[in-house]
Structure 1
Amino acid sequence: MEEAIANIHLSDSREAVITQAMGLHGQALLELVYSYVQNRELAEDLTQEIFLKCYQKLHQYNGKAKFKTWLWQIAINHCRDYLKSWYNQNVFVSEEHAGAVSSMKEAFENQVVAKDEHEQLAHAVMSLSPVYREVIYLHYYEDLSMKEISYVTGANQNTVKTRLKRAKVLLKESLEG
């Protein structure tokens, strides 16, 4: 992937790079975005916006980090921006309330039907605050190192380690309680 990006200036094939990135990282990126917004349709929309941003900023990729790490940094920043946005706080909440009954029913059915440890863990992870959820997700689901997580989130490595340790404690309490 990094080689394809390095050759962009020679062949002007940004479209090919983005197409390749969507194939390699699209599903994982969608899952990352979903972990922030917890709404499938919204996650799909935001994922498309993220790939558009990636396309627009591809010339800024300098190869200091892996392409996937760079893409995750764009994605996390985009999700954070969305969660802070006026639209999310004023419009999406209203839509969420409109579907609250069906969401509660769906959540109840999921709890009744699926009691295995994997789903309990996933639920516990989703109940964490975004700061803790992102380090858990990036470390355990995306196998990023502390250094890569630090780069993606913009936090120093010691902060990342502290967040990961605290997230583990919170998960343990949630699963045992």
Structure 2
Amino acid sequence: MVVIQEEQFTKYIKQYERLIITICISFTKNYFDAEDLAQQTFLSAYTSFAKFNGINFKAWLTTIAINKCKDFLKSPARAISSLSDKDFECIRDNDETPEETLINKQKGDKIFTLCEKLKEPYRTVSLNYFCKDIKLSDMAKDTGENLKTLQTHLYRSKKLLKVLWKEECM
């Protein structure tokens, strides 16, 4: 009896597969989702085949397909949410390739190492300015030093760093 049911069901699949795919496409507007839903429809019909009353298999199968499609469309996993401008800014590409990111990190590490080699007061000014991105005006407020003095220290540290950079490259 089981073999007869399987043969009967295989005949029904071949007979109604295009109908079920068409129904699913009309609901989802997506061929790949429709394929999945058609497969789920036939699987559900196969597992429930013993419950089928034998009257109008086509109507029974299309009802299963329609219910599967409705459930799919209501599914929270399928919900499409759009990003706000703020969210989009967080995930936007920074236009840097991985290679550029690595090179910039290596340059930053090298600058830090060279700044560490400077003597005071040039070390502190260059580390704060180049590595920590602290403005000279903010340094002047924090330390109480004159802005012109810090500008002079930065100017001299740039010259010293330039010399150290060339020495490192040779």
Q: TM-score w.r.t. structure 2 length?
A: 0.44
Q: Which has the larger radius of gyration?
A: 2
Structure with the larger RCO, 1 or 2 (CA within 8 Å, 6+ apart): 1
Q: TM-score w.r.t. structure 1 length?
A: 0.43
Q: Which has the higher helix share?
A: 1
